[in-house]
Amino acid sequence: MANHVLLDNVTHKNLRIRTVLGKGRGYDVNVVRVFPSEFTQLQREYPLFFVKNAESGHFETIALLGFSDHENLYLTGVGWDAEYVPLTVQRQPFLIGFQEQVVDGVPRQIPVVHVDLDHPSIGDADGEPVFLPHGGESPYLQRINSILAAIRQGHEASRLLSQLLVGLELIESIAVNVEFDDGSKQGLAGLYTINEDKLRGLSANGLKELHGRGHLQDIHLMLASLLSVKRLVERKNRLLSIDGGTA
Amino acid sequence: MTPVTARIPEIHAVDASHVFERVAAQTAPVVIRGLASSWPLVEKGLESIAEASRYLLGFYQDTPVTAFVSESDIGGRIFYTDELADTNFRQVKTTLGWVLDRIRLHEGDSAPPTVYMGSAALDHFLPGLSAANSLPLGGIKATVRIWIGNRTTVAAHYDVLDNIACVCAGRRRFTLFPPDQLANLYVGPIDFTPAGQSVSLVDLNEPDFDRYPRFAEALKHAQCAVLEPGDAIFVPSMWWHHVEGLESFNILINHWWRDVPAHMGPPGDALLHAILNIRDLPAAQRKAWQGIFDHYVFEPGSHTADHIPRHRLGALGELDEDTARRMRALLRNNLNR
């Protein structure tokens, strides 16, 4: 269970975080939220899709990490096996909270840092210190702060992107069916991507709108990332062969 | 009731469009009778609570407000519980309608439960109201606030900003002490305050002189005034002011401003920093720093830096935006340890 509390430099003065991303530390998931600002770095290593948020009905951008619920094929015994780690993974166990503060007589929702005290990465004596000896912010916390800020902007960018694509009817559901070396097959439902035919047939105005807001590149990066499905299958196959999982 | 007999000087017939210039040269408080008497809110308030409430709600767009509420036993004194364990009121998120209804519901009570909505940015909560119900600011960058409540008392405190406050409904008694009465006012914690500012722990109307003997001296320097609807008061920056809403329904609109460069932050930050880094030095060192602060900060003059070539004055010269930026970066960096 998550136990989110406001981070403060007195209560949490001795807090240390194990930053090595390993199995059993809360990263056993097969999708993570990602944001357009990361697409360039992500698309070489991760397949990127849209999924529909069950509550809001809005499309959100995600990276696929595995083929079944808790399968994260990037997690290995020595850490996260990729050149780039998504921001929403890097941020763990911290998250953005909001606190009402009155500024010049006007109540404002000010973003503040929360920490999940039940996160498995917490509590190691040899982890990264969150605070400096006298309560200042450690370089690690400063990095977390900028990650959280990027995530906050990312939510907005992702919302604008999906809003625009829905308006242009460019999002379509995609059936991802893969076969592994051991002969087993797996199909993934609930994933969406860009409809390439419609993209090609897009009016000049539609293209201009996409380009004008810098989303044309986002779209191409998402499409290019589909090649990474093959790489994800290779990760799975490598795992199967190490496990001796011969068919 | 009040133990203060000296009155705050008064001026009359001040043109509202020149009032900021008029008080600019003033470092002592002054009451300005009738400054706001032509405001529609003042006129409605003179008719009835209901009229004033209706008028206010005409501008209200359901923005949630924060009200301080408490039982009648605190007598309207926005303060602490015994031994400063807690504040003696709770903050509720509500609507302006609820605040006004609750005030009206207990209008006739001799001991009403406390309702107090203080320091709310006028343009945020009641957009449009300021057009006819605040002072013409000219070029002054002021923040305009509204205060609505029943019988309340806010203990003596100072604000960093200069203040012109106008009573719109009800009556308010202001009791003022000069800045140098700090030690005689028995001021409470600086980091746990009822409403943002440190307050005098002495109950002005029933002072416990056994516990707070120096308060008798403070009273010798106090002056007070009762403001009627339409009356205004200039409370200079740093003057201690104890404020009582005397009627079952009180509205005040005030204007806070200060005429300093935008790069200057809150002086209180420097106080905290000095407590952190200087107060606990050995006495001789602290004394030396007192001299250094006098030399550079409190009594600068030709002795301070005239012997330094102008191009090397840096922080000792006239501060411009860029120098202020460099100082801020250095301080921020040094504080992070």
**DSSP string covering B78-124:** E-B-GGGSSBSSEEEEE-HHHHHHHHHHTTT-SSPPEEEEEEEEHHH
Does residue A244 register a pLDDT over 70?
Answer: no
- Per-residue confidence (pLDDT) for residue A1, from 0 to 100: 64
List the single range of B18-22, B115-119, B130-134 with lowest mean pLDDT: B18-22
Q: Is the pTM for the entire model greater than 0.95?
A: no
A residues 70-109 closer than 8 Å to B (CB) = 102, 104-107
CA A90 to chain B, closest CA, distance in angstroms equals 23
Q: How confident is the model at residue A6 (pLDDT cuts 50, 70, 90)?
A: very high
Q: How confident is the model at residue B185 (pLDDT cuts 50, 70, 90)?
A: very high
Angle formed at CA A115 by CA A113 and CA A120, multiple of 5 degrees: 150
Do A107 and B119 count as a contact with CB atoms less than 8 A apart?
Answer: no
Give mean pLDDT, residues B231-235.
Answer: 98
**Dihedrals φ, ψ of B244, to 5°?**
-120, 130
For every residue of A25-37, DSSP letters joined together read SS---SEEE--GG
Q: How confident is the model at residue A139 (pLDDT cuts 50, 70, 90)?
A: very high
Report chain B's mean pLDDT, rounded to a whole number.
Answer: 96
Does residue A245 register a pLDDT over 60?
Answer: no
**Dihedrals φ, ψ of A229, to 5°?**
-60, -40
CA-to-CA separations, A120 to A124, B44, B205, in angstroms, rounded: 9, 62, 58
Which residues in chain B touch residue A106, judged by CB atoms under 8 angstroms apart?
Answer: 121, 124
More confident residue, B19 or B2: B19
Does residue B236 register a pLDDT over 90?
Answer: yes
Do A105 and B335 count as a contact with CB atoms less than 8 A apart?
Answer: no
User: Which of A107, A134, A137 has the CB atom closest to B66's CB atom?
Assistant: A107
Does residue B38 register a pLDDT over 50?
Answer: yes
Give mean pLDDT, residues B113-131.
Answer: 97
pLDDT in tens, A199-236: 999 888 888 888 888 899 999 999 999 999 999 999 99
Does residue A9 register a pLDDT over 90?
Answer: yes
pLDDT in tens, A180-208: 999 999 999 999 999 999 999 988 888 88
Does residue B326 register a pLDDT over 50?
Answer: yes
- Per-residue confidence (pLDDT) for residue B107, from 0 to 100: 93
Do A104 and B143 count as a contact with CB atoms less than 8 A apart?
Answer: yes
Residue A10 touches partner B, C-beta closer than 8 Å: no
Residue B275 touches partner A, C-beta closer than 8 Å: no
- Per-residue confidence (pLDDT) for residue A129, from 0 to 100: 96
Which residues in chain B touch residue A101, judged by CB atoms under 8 angstroms apart?
Answer: none
CA B65 to chain A, closest CA, distance in angstroms equals 9
Do B121 and A134 count as a contact with CB atoms less than 8 A apart?
Answer: no
Which helix (H) or strand (E) segment holds residue B271: the answer is: helix B267-277
Do B121 and A104 count as a contact with CB atoms less than 8 A apart?
Answer: yes
Do B145 and A105 count as a contact with CB atoms less than 8 A apart?
Answer: yes
Which helix (H) or strand (E) segment holds residue A221: the answer is: helix A215-225
ipTM of the complex as predicted: 0.84
- Per-residue confidence (pLDDT) for residue A20, from 0 to 100: 82
Does residue B241 register a pLDDT over 90?
Answer: yes
Do A105 and B64 count as a contact with CB atoms less than 8 A apart?
Answer: no
Residue A136 touches partner B, C-beta closer than 8 Å: yes
Bridge partners of B241, per DSSP, are B157, B176
Report chain A's mean pLDDT, rounded to a whole number.
Answer: 91
Which residues in chain A touch residue B121, judged by CB atoms under 8 angstroms apart?
Answer: 104-106
Residue of A nearest to B334 (CA): A136
Residue B121 touches partner A, C-beta closer than 8 Å: yes
Residue of A nearest to B117 (CA): A105
Is residue B232 within 8 A of residue B13, CB to CB? The reply is no
* Share above pLDDT 70 across residues of chain B, in percent, rounded to a whole number: 100
- Per-residue confidence (pLDDT) for residue B286, from 0 to 100: 98
Residue A189 touches partner B, C-beta closer than 8 Å: no
- Per-residue confidence (pLDDT) for residue A246, from 0 to 100: 45
Does residue A147 register a pLDDT over 80?
Answer: yes
User: DSSP alpha helices (H): ranges in A75-138?
Assistant: 87-90
- Per-residue confidence (pLDDT) for residue B313, from 0 to 100: 95
Which residues in chain B touch residue A134, judged by CB atoms under 8 angstroms apart?
Answer: 337
Two tokens at B156?
A: 């003596």
Contacting residues for B264 by C-beta, under 8 A, at least 6 apart: B324
Does residue B195 register a pLDDT over 50?
Answer: yes
- Per-residue confidence (pLDDT) for residue A247, from 0 to 100: 38
3-class SS at B42? helix
Residue of A nearest to B118 (CA): A105
Give mean pLDDT, residues A79-108.
Answer: 93
User: Which of B124, B143, B337 has the CB atom closest to A136's CB atom?
Assistant: B337
List the single range of B8-17, B77-86, B125-134 with lowest mean pLDDT: B8-17
